[in-house]
Amino acid sequence: MRDRWLKRAIKRVARVRYAADLKLTRMIQRRRIYRLGGACNRCGKCCRMPMVQVFPPFLYLKMARWWIITWHRRINGFEFIREDRKEKTFTFRCTHLDIRTGLCDAYESRPGMCRDYPRVLLDTTDPQLFDTCGYYPVLINGKKLSQALDGLDLPEAKREDLKRRLYLVD
């Protein structure tokens, strides 16, 4: 189910806009706290049910809601599953994911949100990645904190648990 040339072109334009928005947002926000460690292990969990955070009018205005759901269905190949008004998200199922291999059949033309995952989570104060994900957040300036923990009189297991929970493990 690879994308045809027109859909790839539309996705390319959308990706440029997404990248510009992302760059502007990251420039406005404070500097990054985490960097990304690890590598993709192709578990596919992030692709099975992508969640899209939406601006509140998309939840309540029927036309706006229809527009965003239709866009994701027609352009990105996402099938709408549910909405969560509390979290302000729409959850989809990606039709491009091959469950057996964990690979995307439209990898070259995948949407910006797929390209930026899990980096987009690093903008949060407590990035929660999937348990099976090969990526993990690492505190950028965590060396001093890690050294301070090493200097404390703590059992080794407790120290390692603290380092893991504080994203100090690289």
Specify burial of residue 93 (Cβ count, 10 A radius: 0-12, 13-18, 19+).
Answer: middle
Check pLDDT > 80 for residue 54. Answer: yes
Specify burial of residue 94 (Cβ count, 10 A radius: 0-12, 13-18, 19+).
Answer: buried
Are the C-beta atoms of 21 and 118 separated by less than 8 Å?
A: no
Check pLDDT > 90 for residue 67. Answer: yes
Tell me what the mean pLDDT of segment 122-129 comes to.
Answer: 81
- The per-residue pLDDT for 24 is 85
- The per-residue pLDDT for 170 is 72
Cβ atoms within 10 Å, residue 92: 21
How far is it, in rounded angstroms, from Cα 127 to Cα 113?
Answer: 16
- Residue 162 per-residue DSSP state: H
How far is it, in rounded angstroms, from Cα 46 to Cα 61?
Answer: 28
